[in-house]
Structure 1
Amino acid sequence: MRPRQIGLLAGGLFAVAITLVGFTALVNSRQAAPGRSGTAQSGTGGASIGGPFTLTRGDGKQVTQTDFLGKPTAIFFGFTFCPEVCPTTLYELSGLIKELGPEAEKVNFAFVSVDWGRDGPKELASYTSAFDSHIQGLSGTEAEIETVTRAYRVYYKRIPVDGGDYTIDHTASVYLMDKDGNFVGTLAYGEARNTMLEKLKRLIGGA
């Protein structure tokens, strides 16, 4: 893992301890609100969330949406240089996976980087190694990330920062898909832990 990422991740995990006391406003992110402007929901009267994509796992293997069928999926979009939202979300997901125990094997957990310029397979593999091993990191080219973010109605935008670098403003929700690839809901950033756990249990129960 790169030195700057280590610092960001360490800082992010420290922020998690504070965050667990009480979530505050989002930092460099936007909350997904299915059914509202900029997002969509499945069902009559709304466009669908999800669709065809091709991405690359940390081990270099290409995967498509069909590789996730047969089991429900929890999929989150972010980037490895994310200062707070991404490490907090992945840390919480790791805790939820632990609470699910053997039932966690019935769910796909994926973290897709929208930072196609800096996050390749090796970077994603290194970053996700700090969290539960069920969470697989997925990267892609600019075109591939554009395809998957359009399919999932994910918002992301590069924001310039001092020194010529950039951060990324992005959707902060975890998308929940059923075993057939249909959108069924989200885990919202800052949502109560017990509520998120119950949603995952229902997702498994409906598989």
Structure 2
Amino acid sequence: MRSAGMPWPGDQGEERWNLAWQAIKKVWASKWNERAFISCRKANLHHNNLCMAVLIQEIICGDYAFVIHTKNPLSGDNSEIYTEIVKGLGETLVGAYPGRAMSFITKKNNLKSPFVTGYPSKLIGLYSRPSIIFRSDSNGEDLEKYAGAGLYDSVAMDEQERVVLDYARDRLIVDKAFQLLLFSRIAEAGKIIENLYSCAQDIEGVVKDGVIYVVQARPQI
């Protein structure tokens, strides 16, 4: 943790380290959760073909979390950036939480004019105190003809607060100027990262107090 420059949340006592170790084991063991097991069986994929790694990241206690695909995965249109965004932490977006995220599309040649394609119905938002999260990173997300994203678990060191959401009062819905500015900035971040790596990107990020944080980027499959 020190060599990575990652702040350790709380004291250095044995109880805190045990919480971290339990979280690591839960992530690794999610290779055998029900969703993953059934998915592998349907795809005729043996579990020995799947390898699990555990990423350790600082939790940014964001107001919103988003996932960007810099090539529209619904239409295959490379000129469009497709984004989904939720309130709170991103686990409700990338995990198996019911409901849909808010979604929007942005043309790469007109980042200032995003247009909404879907409104949110996620009932629960997750919020956390400063902590760290142990995230699943299996090769199942990159195997040919196997969409393994979202099947495996990510576990926070500290329990997250589950909040019933009220979108009707949120600025993302009621403040059009705020929505346009935020969506444009997120799309711009996606385009910058795609240009940096010279290929379509699958990007995860967080918005905290108006600041955009990118927590993961990889080639879009």
TM-score by length of 1: 0.24
Higher strand proportion, which one? 2
Q: Which has the larger radius of gyration?
A: 2
